A = this chain, B = another copy of it.
Amino acid sequence: MTLIVALDRVSPGEAEQLVADLCDVVEGFKVGLPFVLSAGVRLVEKLRGACPSRLWIADYKLADIGYIMRLVAEEAASWADAVIAHSFIGVDGGLGELAEHLAREGKKLILVVSMSHPGSRDVYDRATPYIAAVVERLRPWGLVAPATRPEMIALYRRKAPWAKILAPGVGAQGAEPGEALCAGADYEIIGRQVTGAPEPRAAALLARRRQEERLRLCRAQS
């Protein structure tokens, strides 16, 4: 499956309902810092327990020295299969330590390489050659690149053929379902457009259908 649902601004009760509704129609769940801070780690463990076969991603956007990122990863170890950190942090004393820690624990590392908001162009996207070098050195399981800028997805698709590419920014942030898949992403991350919908399961199924239609179209054109 190609859809990952982001849990950010939802209440504990809504989250339990969402996971029950969506477990069999999504690839996984990306759990953000706002949700974990307000709901607590124990609730996230419970959510995972209700849908254990999917990919659970701790989206803390880690961006600290290695020592601190390891401590935070340990706090998510009970429920997360994968942890998102920023490539911007660099390797020695930073992502290198986190990568080794996650590898030992059998967890996946996912690195942000570009972001979906316009400000990503201020600094992040100007550093692309250096960021690509960090990615090449660490060879993480996955990359996060924005659905709102398909050219960045295409670029990292070429640079990191081994990596899964996860694309946020679908829905509320403006990208259409399937757009990022056409550019080379493996998964699209959708948040408010599903979690805030009157019928989240129907919204997720609709997003999947629209992904498939768009993929069919772009494959026919290429």
Contacts and interface: CB of A to CB of B under 8 A. Distances in A.
A11 interface: no
Interface of A: 8-9, 32-34, 36-38, 40-41, 60-66, 68, 71-72, 74-76, 86-96, 112, 115-124, 126-127, 130-131, 133-134, 173
Contact of A115 (B65, B118, B134): B65
> How many copies of this chain are found per oligomer?
2
Contact of A118 (B63, B93, B119, B121): B93
15 contacts: A8-B68, A34-B72, A37-B37, A37-B41, A37-B72, A65-B173, A86-B88, A88-B127, A89-B119, A89-B123, A90-B119, A92-B122, A123-B127, A123-B130, A127-B130
A117 B131 CA distance: 17
Contacts of A121: 90
Contact of A36 (B37, B74, B86, B130): B37
Contact of A119 (B71, B74, B95): B95
Contact of A124 (B89, B92, B118): B89
Contact of A133 (B86, B91, B122): B122
